[in-house]
Every structure is written in structure tokens, then in C-alpha cells.
Structure 1
Amino acid sequence: MTETAPVRPYVGLRPYQRDESALFHGRDREAREIATLWQAAGLTVLYGASGVGKTSLLQAGVLPRLDPGRVDLLPVARVHPRPRPPESSGNPYVAALLSCWAPERDPRTTAGLTVTEFLRARPERTDEYGDPMPILAAVDQAEEMFQGGPAGERDRTELLDQLTTAVQEHTGLHLLLSLREEYLFLVLPYERPFGQGSRARFHLRPFTPEAAREAVARPLGHTGRTITPAAAELLVDDLRTAVIVDEAGHESKVMLDTVEPVQLQVVCAALWESLPPGVTEITERHARAYADVEEFLYDFCKRMVAEVAEEFDMSPGEIKFWLRNTFVTEHGTRNMVYEGLQQTRSMPNAVARALEDRHILRAEHRRGIRWYELAHDRLIRPISRSDSPEAYLRAARAALATRKWEQARRLAGEAVRASDLGESWVRAEAAEILAEVAVENGEYETARRYCEEAVELYAERQRFDGVARMLRADGLLWLRQGDHVKAIERITAALSWAPNDMAAHLALAEALVRAGTPKAAAQVVTGVLDRLPPDLLKQAREMLRQTA
């Protein structure tokens, strides 16, 4: 960033704040219309998809357009209940609402008040003609008022009843509820009582190309930098272009009619940070050189998936694999799946909802069932893009550690598909994982084939530790099937490749015991006892006790 451009004109993933209205562009018509509806109607419902910019529009677009000399504006509220001490009483949803409306007050002074009592206690404000000002109250993420866990249902119902009473007693109270469009059906029963006969809805949609170009160019007016119309158009067209790749590898491009605001912010913020310090005019050449939309969106998806993986103690590869195989069809288009009682296509519902919060997925309700799909066609390609073979192998090993056998099998297969022809080490490690999965599934012949494949591949790369490990695994497999002679043969072969493989020594001793030669087993254990690591020492002493 240059000395002449100290302001970051794009906010990235977070919403615009009220004091950033000078940077907020592309929504003039929507902001004016919503401000007018809010002042005229008893209830205004602002709804739209996740990531379409509802909070930004409300904070940086609508609020600055309201004349403080004509309206009594309450701070924008959320009703997400805050943690409270066990001994506290009262409705947590009401308490959250009132604490937002009176942020300067000690919450204890509003504890126990109803919405009507709170409004009645406020001094009445009048305009220049002495007439009472309308009270404008907005609730952002208002879906929290209508849905949640069963434990809070009673409190939520009480809050809705209190709001109904408040609008009846305070005829000048005008409500605005901002929520995701998939929850609109929850508001319908309350539109008439909240609006008192005067209600309006506003569906916020993604940017048109013209509005998107404005959202790219106009925030730069306070930075000392400019962008040429050609560069702005190039960025917007890139964001509108979705590449569809089917299973046969055939590509087709589709030019979409709209641009997702959250994606525009991600790309523009990344471009801003990528520009060399001396740039004062962003040209088409700069846009082509530094605005790699595909890479920016891929990085965005990767970061969001990593956040969710950390939150739920999972591997990013596992989530990425689930996204690609669940939400992208074999024709390279978006797929829609429904949310089950506990899982969405084998993934916990909480993970799907976390991905929705991060604008990777979007949801909608159909006949009482929640359905998910990728948030936009533009995310198909980043989600479909294969990670490195190493990432898939790490995810597969993590799945093995948690006994998710089918997940480990699929991830190992993905590692092979993501590898180059010469990366035989990937096929070797994948075969090792697949062998373990087959053993756990009781597929011994399949496991043996994978062991043999891994032995050959490890030997080809002179990975002698891998050769020994797979020969030992094969020997234990023979031992499990009762063929002691074959087991001893394979494990002895493993030791010829890696004489210091202590696990192989103990495996040989176990095979000798099962073959009825405990003295020979004891000699093997005694010979390596002083070289055993702590994790194998207990097993060795137990074996000596058995052979005594």
C-alpha cells in the first residue's frame, strides 16, 4: 500500500459499519427504498441469501439516510441471548434486545423489563413541529427470534408476544427485520400483528453487473488510487464467469447475470493487498496481473474450510472432499441435498451450518425441509479443484486414526487421482492405507493385494522401511488367518529389509508363539529387549511372561 492510499476501501468478509458509508457503493436504490419503506410501514422485512450484504446495506446504506431530526432511531439490535449467571432470571432474548437498544445503560437496569415498559420509560422525541417522531427499530439476523434449540422456544415465543403488544401500544413503532431468505416463512404468521395492517417486504438480490462495477470503482475515491473502467469491467466479468467441468473433463463457460457481493469483496480486498506500492491507477494490465479471481476464490474457500475444520477438530481434506462429492454433480453443476435429523450426507449438520455462515453453502427451506447447495456457481471450480496428494494422505491418516474407514478409503483414492504419473510414493502410501481399511472390513484378499502393491512401489523407490512395514503387515494378516508358516516367512523377509524394525521383531515373536515354539519367541524378544522403545517394552515383557 502506498503513502497516498492509507485507506482500505474493501472490507473483505466482514460487514460494512455505519461510519464506512463513504466506502459503501452499488446499493443506492436499495438503501433509499428500504429507508422509505421503514418509515412508512409498521413492519419491513428485509430478506436475502447469506452473503448478499444485508447487514452492510442496513448499517452503511440505510441508517445514514435517516434524518435524526425526523425519526427516533434505536440502535440496530440482535436477539442472540448472551450467557448469563445461573442465578439470573428473566427472558434472555428480551434482555439481549433491550441491551442493544440501550447500550450505554447497565444491563441490570433493564433486567426484567418488558419491551413495552422499556419503550414507555423512554422520553418521547418530537420533531420541529412538535409532533412525535416515529420510533425506528431494526433487528439484524432476525431469524434468531424465530428458530433455535427447543430449550429457548418458550422465551422466543414470549419475546414475539411482547413485540406484538409493543406495536399495539406504540403506534409510532416501526419494525425492520433483516433475515436470511430461507427463514422468511417463519415471519409470515407475525407480519400482520407486527405491521398492524401496514407491512412491506424487500428481497435483496446480488449485484447487477452495473452495480458491481460501481462497488469496485467508487470506494477508491478516498484512497488516492483509481481504477479504469476496463479494469473494473474485467474484474466483474471474471466474477460473473463460471467454468463448468464434467467428469469427462469437458469445460464450458457460463456468463451469469449477477455478482455475489461477498465474492466481490474477497477478490477486491485481495487485489488491493497484492498491488505494488507505486500503483496509483489500477489498469486492465494490473487487473490481469494481480487479480487472479480463480486463485482468490480458491484461497477463500481453503481458508473457510480450514476454519471449520479447526472448529470441529476435523481435517480440511475431509471437508473439502465432502463438499466436492456432495455438492458438485458429475456434469460439473451444483447439486442440492437436504439436511437430515443429525447429518447432511454423512457430515454433522453443525458443519454444514458453519459452512453456510462462511458463505460456502447456502440454504433454503422447502416444505419444512432445509436444503443446501454451494453458495454460487462461481464456487464450483474452486471446490472441485484437487488439493495436493500430501493433503489427501494426511486427511486419510486422520480418518484412520478416528476409525472412519470409508472416509479413509475415499481420501486415499483422491490422493492417487491428484498425483502425477511419476509420484509412485503416493500410490505406495495410498495402498498402505487401503490395506489397513480392507483388514478392518474383513476383506483379507483385497488387503493382501494392497500389501503386495505397496511392497513393490516402496522397493522401486528404495523406501526399505516401507517395504518392511508392508511385509510385516502382510505377515500379520497371514497370522490372523491361521497360516503361521506363511506369517513367519513374510515377517522374516521384513526383517531382512529393515533389521532394526522393532515392531517386526515382536511380530515375529508373536508368530512363533502361535506356531507353538515359545522358546524361539523368547529368544527373539530377549535379543532386542534393550533396544525397544517405551511403547513396545510393555508388550515385550508381557510376551516374555507368556513364554516363561
Structure 2
Amino acid sequence: MPVTDPQVQPYVGLRPYRRDESALFHGRGREAQEVATLWQAAGLTVLYGASGVGKTSLLHAGVLPLLDPEHADVLPVARIAPRMSKPATRGGNPYVRALLSCWTDRRDLGDLTIAQFLDDRPEQMDRYGDPVPILAAIDQAEEIFHGSPILEKERRVFLDQLAEAVKKHPGLHVLLALREEYLFLVLPHERRIGQGSRSRFHLEALSPEQALQVVHGPLPQTGRTMTPEAAELLIDDLREVHFENEAGETTTIKVDTVEPIQLQVVCSALWESLPPEVVEITEEHALLYAQVEEFLSAFYRRTMAEVAAEHGLPASKLRLWMRKTFITEHGTRNAVYEGLIETEGMPNAIPRTLEDRHLLRAEQRLGIRWYELTHDRLIAPVTRYEAPESYLQEARQAVEERDWDHAHHLAELAERAADVDEAWVRAEAAEVFAWVAHARGDLGSARRYCVEAAGIFSEYQRFDGVARALTKEGLLWLDQNDSVQAIQRIKTALDYAPNDVSVQIALAKALQRSSTPKAAEAIINGLPSDLAQQAWITLHEPD
């Protein structure tokens, strides 16, 4: 297959490896062999690890290819997630039905139990006539244990049936793959399901040596190679973590492990960035195209935008919440606990979604669920400032939506992101601060922000900004029933922007409030007819 073929992709990115991609799956040989051995030996094997550590990939692309079909009856890997809010009306237990539906295409499942289903299957024998073990795996098994409370009875029945099936069929070996924070929920059922024969395997992040295998291993399938120096550069970059505290002091450390999900993000992004003619990826290519910080930041921004859209939130608000919640003032990871309804002001559904998307990691401590960033390497993307214009645009949008706290925070972020010679950012931020102070009833502060903004805009000869700030100040004076000051400020604004309709309408409003309606009428009548009609509506709107 030519290297220029766009279908060549040795790295899978965010999704897990599939069974047919075992040739691309590297770095987990020892773990795959150990899990395969435990699964075939114990009644119950629990494979657990953090979100994004690669449990699904290990099971499908690592463990399954090691199982000899002549010595094991391997059922299709199941995933049990009954999406319902009340018990099923179609008959049968929803968890049992979900499991059996993964194992068979039969539609006549009805009230069939797990043991009965296995009774109906022909027993598979080895070449000596002895029955082979039945291997059943349930991936993402945490979905069994934290489902809808309405299904608690059905969940207990399912676990009872699973234990009964292992008891009735001694050759049945169950593997549950789940996130480590849910391990405590499985513990009370281990002895019963495993019938006294049980094992656990903790899947951890990659060592640097394993990470090198992940990078190099799939390349023979593509026709490309990578020099050791280039691969080590990628991995060293992922192991470096930079901490910056609120005083601007930076500390750099090198961690001992590499997160599989981050390695896949960087490798797949590098692959897509390379020119088609590159056959050997050198250290020079890695330096030029493997912008690790940029790749991780792009992954973070894209994921946050998708999660925000999914939950109907402004992405800027979600990013701000992440920064304030999960980063300490020393620039390190912070852990917060999940409340009954919210986690640090956000509905619990949001951190759970962020956990699904590999940005957050959860842990159970004394029955309470705690969240933190999945890895220190994400601190930089979370704390990284966007361009000031981006924050200001979002701040103005927040003002329109009357989300005053969020608008104020965004304007502050714009100031922090600005260079020392970008005073215009302070001017536009001051405009936002003026709106926020006005909304909060602090008219004195609002006027001071307007004066500050007008002064900076004047230095930059941004006359449209001067006009906006002076007009806003005039309307603030009008709110205090001082029409003289209001008219003075707005007339000055009109000197800077004589054709600005919004300034003209503001002056008309001030004149009308000063008991000179004819002067106000003259201004409105001087506007084009379509604008005049809208201006009359605006003029008579309540303040």
C-alpha cells in the first residue's frame, strides 16, 4: 500500500483498537498475556483502570487474539447499557436481554435466563473430547453498577443470574472491564460471581519503553519508518509537565509514565501533518510537525466545544469552569468532589461527560466521587490563554445574554492574555466592566470604566470606541436623572462619530428626558425612514 494513500493510519486517535487491528496494537504484550491467562483460569476476572488507559483496546486487540478457538469458547464481547428510565415492558430483565443480545441474533429471548441460554448452546469440545471453557467478557461494566435507580431491582436480578450461570456452568469464566473508581461496587459481588475463584488486573499508564513500542510497532504496516531520536522526542515531550503558579513562576518536571490517549492524539495528529513524500520520520520532522502542546491544546479545545454544545453551554464558560475548578493557585491539579446535583456549580452530567471524553478522571473516596484532570500534561492546555480578541468577543456575547458574572470573568481573561503594549484590550474590557457594574447597580464604577475606556481609545485614535464609551457614560448619567451631564457626554460622542445612529438615538432619548421633545423629534426625523421607525420604538422602550 503506498505511503501516500490517505487510508493508511497506524494510530487510532481517540477511539479504541478493534479486534482486526491487532497488528497495529503494541506495547501491551505482557498485560495482554497476563489478562488472557487470568481470564481462562478464574471464575471472575476484573480488569480495571483509569478512563482512557486502554482497557477496551487491550481486551479487543490484545487479549482476544491470544485465545485459541480450539481451546476456548469465546463469546462476543458484550456491553450492557439499558437506556431506559423505567422497567422494560417487552418482557425479561433489561440487563439480561442486553447481555444475551450481544451473544446472539435470536429475537425470542423473552424471559430466558443467562443459565438457560447457555444450556441451549451446543457444548464445544477440544480434540480430546473434553469441554472447553466458555469465556464471557463485559466491557465498560461500570454501566451495570451506576445505572438508573429505577432499575435497581433488575440490576440485582441480573447479578444473581450471572452468579447462578457460573455456578451451573463451571466452565464459564467472566471478565468485567471497568473504570477503577467503580471497583468498590464490584467487590461485594466478586465471591458470588466467581464462585470463590476470582482475580483482578490493574491496567496502568504506559512506561516510556512501552510508549516507544506503541510508536514504532505499527509502522511496518505503512511503509514508513521513524528514527529512535524522533520517537524519543515525542515521548519526552509528553512526559514533560510545566507548572506555572499565579505569580508566573514556572517549574518543569518529567513524569514516569505516558497516557495512552495522549500518545494516540499526538501520533495521529503528527501522521496527518506529514507531507505524503516523507518515508522516514526524523527528529527534524518531529520538531517541525509534532507540536505536542498544540496537538493537546487542539484536542482540549475541540473536546470542550463538543461537550459545551452537547449540554447547551457557552464553550468559554465551560473552559473557565475547568480552569477555576481543577487548577490550584500553584498551577497544579486540583481534586473536587461531586455533590448531589452539582460539581462546583456545574450539573453532575457535565463532569461525567468530560470523564467519558478523557479530560477528567474520577475516584471514589469513602463513598464520595472525586474528579481531577486525567494527567498533569493537560494543565497547560487548561490554563492556556486564548487570544484577547476571542475572550472579548465571548464577553460581549455574555453581555447580550445578561450573563454578568461570566462577562466579567471573560473580560478579566482578555486582560491577562494581552501583551503589555495592547492597552486597547484594557479599553474594551473596561467597556464590559461598565456594563456589568451598571447591571449590578454600581453606577459610579460604571461611569469610571467608561471614562477609562474613552481615554485609552482616544490615545489609539479609535474614535468609534470613544463614541461608544462616552455614549454609555451619558446614558448612565441619564439613569441618575442628570440629563444635563448626559446630553453633554453624548454630544461629545457625536463629535467623534457624527453618523452613528446609536449615538443619535441616545441623544434623542436624553433630550426627550430633559423636556425638549421637539429637539428629540428633530433628530429622529433626520434619520432615514426605516431607521427612524425603529428609533421611535427604541426611544419609547422602558429603561
Please state which band the TM-score falls in when normalised by the shorter chain.
Answer: over 0.9
* Uncovered stretches (5+) of structure 2, i.e. residues with no partner: none
**1:288-344 CA distance string (max 9 Å, x none):** 222222222122212211211222233333222222222222222111111222322
Task: Report whether the alignment pairs 1:197 with 2:196.
Answer: yes
- For 2:460 and 2:149, how far apart are their aligned partners in 1? 58
Q: Give the residue type in structure 2 aligned to 1:163.
A: L
* Aligned residue number for residue 3 of structure 2: 2
1:95 aligns with 2:94: no
**Are the counterparts in 1 of residues 181 and 363 from structure 2 also a CA contact under 8 Å?**
yes
Distance in 1 separating the partners of 2:390 and 2:312: 16
Partner residue in 1 for 2:43 = 42
For residue 274 of structure 2, what is the amino acid of its counterpart?
L
Deviations 1:165-217 (A, max 9, x none): 22222222111111111111111111111111011110000011111111111
**2:527 alignment partner, SS class:** helix
State the TM-score, normalizing by the size of structure 1.
0.92
2:320 alignment counterpart: 321
TM-aligned CA deviation for residue 228 of structure 1: 2.3
1:220 match:
219
The one-letter code sitting in structure 1 at the alignment partner of 2:94 is P
Residues 414 and 136 of structure 1: CA distance in aligned 2, closer, same or farther (over 3 Å): same
Alpha carbons 2:508, 2:519 under 8 Å: kept: yes
Q: TM-score, normalised by structure 2?
A: 0.93
Secondary structure at the residue paired with 1:171?
coil
Q: What is the CA-CA distance between 1:537 and the residue it aligns to?
A: 4.9
Shift of 1:378: 1.2
Moved more, 509-518 or 476-485: 509-518
Tell me the CA shift for residue 82 of structure 1. 4.5
Q: Which range moves more in the overlay, 519-528 or 438-447?
A: 519-528
Alignment match, 1:400: 399
- Sequence identity percentage: 60
2: CA distance between counterparts of 1:5 and 1:528? Answer: 59
- CA gap of 1:19–1:84, structure 2 versus 1, over 3 A, is farther
- More displaced stretch, 368-377 vs 41-50: 368-377
Q: 1:231 matched to which residue of 2?
A: 230
Q: One-letter code of the match for 2:26?
A: H
Structure 1: distance between partners of 2:110 and 2:436: 57
Question: Aligned ranges for residues 511-530 of structure 1 at < 5 Å?
Answer: 511-528=510-527, 530=529
Q: CA deviation at 1:475?
A: 1.7
* Residue-pair matches, total: 540
Aligned to 2:74: 73
Query: 1:23-422 alignment to 2 at 5 Å?
Result: 23-82=24-83, 88-102=90-104, 105-106=105-106, 108-422=107-421
Whether 2:442 is the aligned partner of 1:443: answer: yes
Between 1:495-504 and 1:40-49, the stretch displaced more is 495-504
Taking a change above 3 Å as real, the CA distance of residues 542 and 389 of structure 1, as seen in their structure-2 partners, is closer
What is the identity, as a one-letter code, of the residue corresponding to 1:50? S
Secondary structure of 1:206 counterpart: coil
Question: What is the root-mean-square deviation of aligned Cα atoms in Å?
Answer: 2.4
1:10 and 1:268 in contact (8 A); partners too: yes
State the shift of 1:5 in Å: 9.1
Contact 1:529 1:537 in 2 (8 A): no
Q: Which amino acid aligns with 2:97?
A: A
Structure 1 residue 154 displacement after superposition: 3.3
Return the letter of the residue paired with 1:27.
R
CA distances 1:20-79 after superposition (whole Å, capped 9, x unpaired): 001101101100010011111111000000110000000000011111111111111111
| Letter paired with 2:226 | I
Distance, in Å, in 2 between the alignment partners of 1:312 and 1:181 is 26
Partner secondary structure for residue 528 of structure 1: coil
Q: Against the structure 1 CA distance between its residues 87 and 45, is the aligned structure 2 distance closer, same or farther, given a 3 Å change threshold?
A: closer
TM-fit CA distance, 1:385:
1.5
Q: Which moved more, 1:417-426 or 1:506-515?
A: 506-515
Once residues 220 and 10 of structure 1 are traced to their aligned partners in structure 2, the CA distance between those partners, rounded to angstroms, is: 9
| 8 Å contact from structure 2 (residues 3, 222) kept in 1 | no
Q: CA deviation at 1:451?
A: 0.9
- Name the structure 1 match of 2:477: 478
- Residues 397 and 66 (structure 1), Cα distance of their counterparts in 2 relative to 1, 3 Å cut: same
CA distance in structure 2 between the partners assigned to 1:310 and 1:281 by the alignment: 40
Q: Distance in 1 between matches of 2:156 and 2:471?
A: 64
Partner SS state of residue 108, structure 2: helix
Task: Show the counterpart of 1:458.
Answer: 457
Equivalent in the alignment of 1:546 = none
Residue identity opposite 2:98 in structure 1: A
Q: 1:476 to 1:201 in 2, by over 3 A?
A: same
Aligned-pair CA distance for 1:432? 1.0
Higher mean alpha-carbon deviation, 533-542 vs 66-75, is at: 533-542
Q: Secondary structure at the match of 1:137?
A: strand
Unaligned runs of at least 5 residues, structure 1? 544-548
The CA distance in 2 between the partners of 1:375 and 1:414, in whole Å, is: 24
Is contact 1:91–1:112 with CA below 8 Å preserved after alignment?
yes
1:327–1:374 CA contact under 8 A, matched in 2: yes
One-letter code aligned to 1:426: V
Q: Relative to structure 1, is the Cα distance of residues 440 and 3 closer, same or farther in structure 2, using a 3 angstrom cutoff?
A: closer
Give SS of 2:77's match: coil
Amino acid at match of 1:91: N
User: 1: CA distance between counterparts of 2:146 and 2:534?
Assistant: 50
Please tell me whether the aligned partners of residues 42 and 196 of structure 1 are also in contact (alpha carbons under 8 angstroms). yes
Match for residue 489 of structure 2?
A: 490
Aligned-residue offset at 1:125: 1.6
Structure 1 residue 233 displacement after superposition: 2.1
Query: Higher mean Cα deviation, 80-89 or 149-158?
Result: 80-89
In the TM superposition, residue 386 of structure 1 has moved relative to its aligned partner by: 1.0
- Distance across 2 between alignment mates of 1:295 and 1:540: 49
In structure 1, distance between residues paired with 2:30 and 2:53: 15
- The 2-side partners of 1:405 and 1:354 are apart by 26
